[in-house]
A = this chain, B = another copy of it.
Amino acid sequence: MAEQRVSCGRGFFCVPDLAAALKNATNGGFDFICVPICHPRYRREFLDPVPNRSGAFTRSDLVLPSQDWNSLIVGKISPWLDLDSTNEIVKKNSELALHQELCYSVHLSLPAVLVPLKSYNCVNLAQHINTSIHDTHVQQVWAHVPMRSPEDECDRHLFEEEEEIKRSKYEKDPWEWWNLFRTVCANSRKIGLALEISTELPSEEELVRWCGEPVKAAILPTSLFLTNKKGFPVLPRAHQALVKRLFRLNTQLILTGVNKHKDKGVGFYYQYLAHLYQTQPELDNVSQFAKGYEDYLQCPLQPLMDNLESQTYEIFERDPVKYSQYQKAVHKALVDRVPEDKKDSVVTVVMVVGAGRGPLVRASLTAAEESGRKVRVYAVEKNPNAVVTLETLKEEEWSGDVTVVSSDMREWNSPEKADILVSELLGSFGDNELSPECLDGAQRFLKDDGISIPCEYTSFLAPVSAAKLHYEVSQSSDTGKGPLAPFETPYVVRLHNVAVISPPQPCFVFVHPNRADRIDNSRVKSLEFEAKTSFSLHGFAGYFETVLYKDVTLSIRPETHSEGMFSWFPFYFPIKEPQYVTAGSTITCHFWRKCTPKKVWYEWCMSKPAPVPLHNPGGRSYLIGL
């Protein structure tokens, strides 16, 4: 594995000698430089009368070898361009100059071009950038956006009418500029964000929102830096934390502004940032496990319709938390069920339904041993391939009374009834692997006072902004299904470059055993969330919590996540069209769990802030087969 190091560039406003500037920056440790594509003094006029001006509009491509151009130089669009000017001449001139600069950057194969957004008034700029993205080989366009509005500092109350402030407030929020720009460009993956970090950081909600965006680069002006006791440049604590957060998104850095520590050399800024990178806390267990799977969309398992593969079992058996929790739960249940004075006479019947390759059998046997209770274990498994493993383990590893049963738990005729039914049938959204239906089928052979482990589970939902995931969904297609199908399917995904806008709320609850006369596993739930900032809604994150037994639980809900447990990534329910939500709005979503004797599926829609059509009606795009 290659050594990980920070990628940090140096931004220049004006570069008289490109080769010298590059040399200077790389000597200081920097990885690349950002320079104007055109000479600032060569302000071009394309309109009549065309000035009679000779000479090149910028430096020649010969000043650097092409491998330097295409790896070390990020181009900057001229700052005077104003494609959204109300002055027709300025607008037209800017359009032509932009075209010239983008074409030249393509000629040089620059890896990225920085385009500043200065206000909400940027639609014509977006249209022209979008055209270039489609018509030329421009590689990446990074919208240079300030984290907070330059106007945010001054006290506008003194100057403006209350109403005017309210009306136009959102137009002064740079996130709105960015959101407009990238939406007009249809969220093209060629559009990235170069976020200029502000001196005063915005609210945590706003930081979360930024961290859900494709932040390709963070621009750090030298003015952000303080001087430490030894005279070296350092960032304030809050900025350090933010930069570390951005490192997790593989954001590159760009240092701009004059060196405030002349005696030290600009390289010390670089060294400080490299130091920040190296001193990041190590990844936790889950993040380690999830490495490489960030924001990668997977289709949920269908363990009832498909048989799991050996490799899948192997990965999940490695979870260091899940089975020890199961063991604790079985232990407590055994102790509750058999008092100390009867432990030698009473044999507890434990049935593991969906035993797989045996981890729950092992956990049950260990719990029995540790608690000193006698058990008779049945390991029921429908996958004949896993039964091979179970039989082998029974022969070679497990001591004690274990019976391996090769059968679907819903069909098995048990020779006796169970005291404890142990299962691990939960998916990322709790019931989505049909645990309710399976356990309802298995509880025939649970004693009337028997215990189900788990005894309860709850799914959770939270609204998310996840432009990247939404883009990925839009690019996927399942041949044979319509263009809508990818948006009507939930995904299992390690949520990473995603902003969770409001805390998760409980959705569907299931309790086992279910003693209702008529069991009904269909559900409908409406949830309301508040948006503190405006944002672009791309769907809902799904999680679950389960009570195995009494206080022994498992959870993948972020607020209560079982530490170190990696068996489940969250769910992502997309919505077809991103919904722009204004600050202070209520988001109301509606989720259904629908059932027929042959299949189960979810449907979802929204009623606020705007109605959104039902997704997946009748299970047309996604269903779980029974």
Return A430 CB to nearest CB of chain B, in Å. Answer: 19
Shortest Cβ distance from residue A118 to the other chain B in the assembled complex, whole angstroms = 15
Asked whether, in the complex, the Cβ of B577 is within 8 Å of the Cβ of A48, the reply is: no
**A124–B590 CB distance below 8 A:** yes
Main secondary structure, interface of A, reads mixed
Give the Cβ gap from A520 to chain B, nearest Cβ, in Å: 7
CA distance A518 to B124 in the complex (A): 22
Shortest A532–chain B CB gap in Å is: 17
Report the stretch among A179-187, A212-220, A384-392, A459-467 that lies at the interface. A179-187
- Contact of A123 with B184 in the complex, beta carbons under 8 Å: no
* Complex interface: stretch among A105-113, A410-418, A602-610: A602-610
Bound-state Cα–Cα, A526 to B121, Å? 10
Contacts of A135 in B (CB 8 A): 618
Bound Cα distance from A474 to B483, whole angstroms: 12
Complex Cα distance A353/B577, Å?
47
Cβ of A185 and Cβ of B613 under 8 Å apart?
yes
- CB within 8 Å for A126 and B184 given contacts A48-B517, A48-B518, A577-B577: no
Contact of B134 with A592 in the complex, beta carbons under 8 Å: no
Q: How far is the CB of A103 from chain B (nearest CB, A)?
A: 15
With an 8 A cutoff between CB atoms, is A583 at the interface? no
The answer, among B123, B179, B613, B618, for a CB contact under 8 Å with A131, is B618
Partner of A611, one of B184, B605, B618: B184
| Alpha-carbon distance A180/B611, docked complex (angstroms) | 5
User: What is the CA–CA distance of A143 and B126 in the complex, to the nearest angstrom?
Assistant: 42
Report the bound CA distance from A614 to B180 in whole Å.
11
Q: Can you list 15 A-B pairs with a CB-CB distance of less than 8 A?
A: A48-B517, A48-B518, A120-B607, A123-B607, A124-B524, A126-B605, A127-B592, A127-B605, A130-B617, A131-B618, A135-B618, A179-B611, A183-B611, A186-B617, A576-B577
Binding site for B on A (CB under 8 A): 47-48, 91-92, 120, 123-124, 126-127, 130-131, 134-135, 179-180, 183-187, 483, 516-518, 520, 524, 526, 576-577, 579-580, 590, 592, 603, 605, 607, 609-614, 617-618, 620
